[in-house]
Amino acid sequence: MEAAPVCNETISPEEFPKPEQAHRRSKASSGKKDAEADIELLCKAVPQIGKVFRVIDKIGEGTFSSVYLGEAQMLDGTRQKFALKHLIPTSHPTRIAAELQCLTVAGGRDNVIGVTYCFRKEDHVVIVMPYLEHRAIVDIIGSLSFEEVRLYIYNLLKALRHVHQFGIIHRDIKPNNFLYNRKTNEYALVDFGLAQGTADTQIDLLKVCRSTLRGGGSPATPAPTQRTKPAPTGGARSAEPSHRTKQSSTTIPAPNPPNPHPTASTSAPLPSPVAPSSSSSTICRKAVPKRRNVTAGSTSRSKHSKELSGLRKLQRPVFGERNMNSCAQAPSAAKASSARTEFVKVAKAEDPANRRCVAGRGTAPLRSQGANHKPPRAVPPSATCSCFQTDRVCNICLSRKQQIAPRAGTPGFRAPEVLTKCPNQGTAIDMWSAGVILLSLLSGRYPFFKASDDLIALSQIMTIRGSRETIQAAKTFGKSIVCSRELPRQDLRVLCETLRGRRPSPDDDHDVTPLNPAHGKTKTLGETPSHCPAGQDDRSDCKPSSKHPDTGDTQAVSMETEDERGWDRVPDEAYELLDRLLDLNPATRITAADALKHPLFRGLMQQRV
Ligand code: ADP
Ligand code: MG
Ligand code: ZN
């Protein structure tokens, strides 16, 4: 291939050291050895990568991609770092092309990562992006100042406003996908692997995915070609999409600067196999739930992430699944645990939320175990079965087909309309996820919600936002929820300050109940929030903790230090914005454009951050 311009410079493949040189040195840990082996496989699978880049390390691994750090020597003699995202070979071409198109059309501005190149050899695709050095939020959350949090959210909202302007719903907004370099104050929204389009999306290839989702059929069954995770690079695959053409190494230079008005010609970053067709659409649709399953189990995604989670064991979610069954946990989690939640049919198909919703018709009522494709008005719930608005599900309802609605994303960040499988979902789902991030940052707890089951996730939301309010909001988008007990809405400032250890918890004097021998003891819950989050043991005294930058040791943070970071004077505006982001009703939830105008960001609007 020929070198393509990178930031107005040209890289010359001949000048680059061989990739093997980069990882020849012996490394002690098996993780490093694995990374080296993966790098070797990557360079074998896509030899051009090794000619252009010195592949330094593996920096991320998910079920759908592995990300490497590569360095290229530019013509002017400087060296530049790049992130090389190697997509799993079984990813559907349309899905890959859609991800690339999001990057080429919307990337490179407003805190959205750009794309520099794309390499393809046969079924291996490597997306080359500018590299942004960053640390995982879990490692820095305990040491962030309020001002840093304010800027982080401001910059996230800027990225969201930008992608939403293009009709892109990101669908996987979480700190792992919003990179933050604390030293340089740089931010980057990454990972459009789950993105979908709004009704008027400017991303042509997202229209393909969108129309497919609308087209019916159960998204619950992944395509066989996507069921088995292949070796990270070049390994044997269990199946291969038959429509792929074998082709020699191909490079696709990305437009730079990005084109804000995408046309058909920019819509096909990959060669011929990605042309929208009915067959590719079908697989594209099926790709979604597979991704969902994987992100739900993100803690066990890879060796890499396992190592990281091991290091982070002292940081626990405010809600965990364990506590949902133990009644011995954090802010009213016990209430949620004993509160059974179910969806039941509603008679009305009205959807006031559809102003912002994208995914076509189908406001059919839902129940978690199965749902009905028939318009609810046509079949009154009481006429079809006897379980309407009861806390059980009858056999008739159990035998119904699954409700079709996108559910991709990470459970703890899923909006109520996603959890209740509302088929009409819009950009508001990203705003909810941004709200969960803000809640995490203000409370100093990451992750805040952790659940692998949608109903548990919903009950966790109800614990914070109130069960009556959640039920009320769900009605507006055509869902009915039955909750066996009432959970009061929490005051967000009280909640966050309690979790930060800034307010005494009324539970402090209560009995201490063993929760899990492995994790010491946690306090029994009272009626008001306890500051001791799920699974948090006594060692950290339930105060925010931070990691020593070098040793990784967790240290309790003193109130004085907290005060210096501005946590003693968090303005009401922060909680007001949080309340608007965590609006249970997607139709009234604040948009990114409006959130940027929020008084919390006074003084930042003119600033090009
Ligand atoms: P996946 O689809 O597997 O989640 P992502 O695009 O989210 O892939 O990338 C996985 C991880 O790789 C990110 O969480 C981040 O840590 C790292 N990463 C991705 N892109 C970049 C980049 N441009 N610069 C630095 N690191 C990146
Ligand atoms: Mg990701
Ligand atoms: Zn029934």
Q: What is the DSSP letter of 376?
A: T
**Relative to the alpha carbon of 344, which ligand is closest?**
3
Q: Choose one of 53, 191, 302 to mutate for the ligand 1 pocket test, by most ligand atoms within 8 angstroms of C-beta.
A: 191
The Å distance, Cα 253 to ligand 1 centre, comes to 20
Distance 67 CA to ligand 1 centre (A): 6
Q: Choosing from 172, 191, 204, 507, which is the catalytic residue?
A: 172
Tokens of 68: 């490497």
Ligand 1 atom closest to the CA of 61, numbered from 1: 3
| Ligand 1 atom 7 nearest Cα | 191
d(CA 357, CA 354): 4
Q: Measured between alpha carbons, how far is 283 from 280 in angstroms, rounded to an integer?
A: 5
Q: Which of 432, 574, 568 is closest to 500 using CA atoms?
A: 568
pLDDT at 357: 28
**CA separation for the pair 347, 265 (Å, rounded):** 46
Residue 507 annotated to the active site: no
Whole-angstrom distance, CA of residue 566 vs CA of residue 143: 11
Query: Could you tell me which residues are beta bridge partners of residue 120?
Result: 125, 250
Asked whether 210 lines ligand 1 (CB < 6 A), one says: no
List, for residues 149-183, the tens digit of each pLDDT value.
999 999 999 999 999 999 999 999 999 999 999 99
Question: Of the residues 59, 67, 295, which should be mutated to test ligand 1's pocket, given the most ligand atoms within 8 Å of the CB?
Answer: 67
Ligand 1 pocket test, pick from 85, 102, 129, 410 with the greatest ligand atom count within 8 Å of Cβ, gives 85
Nearest ligand to the C-alpha of residue 59? Answer: 1
Report how far ligand 1's centroid is from the alpha carbon of 189 (Å). Answer: 9
Please give the distance, rounded to the nearest whole angstrom, from the Cα atom of residue 176 to the centre of ligand 2: 6
Closest ligand to the CA of 138: 1
39: its two tokens: 């790098």
Residue 210 near residue 196 (C-beta atoms within 8 A): yes
**Residue 132 Cβ contacting ligand 1 at under 6 Å:** yes
Q: Enter the pTM of the model.
A: 0.70
| Contacts for 352-356: CB closer than 8 Å, 24+ residues apart | 352/476, 352/477, 352/587, 353/417, 353/422, 353/424, 353/428, 353/476, 353/477, 353/585, 353/586, 353/587, 354/424, 354/587, 355/587, 356/426, 356/427, 356/428, 356/586, 356/587, 356/589
Q: What is the pLDDT of residue 371?
A: 36
Ligand 1 centre and the CA of 44: distance in Å? Answer: 22
d(CA 125, CA 48): 11
| Positions of the chain with pLDDT under 70 | 1-29, 210-317, 320-384, 506-557, 605-609
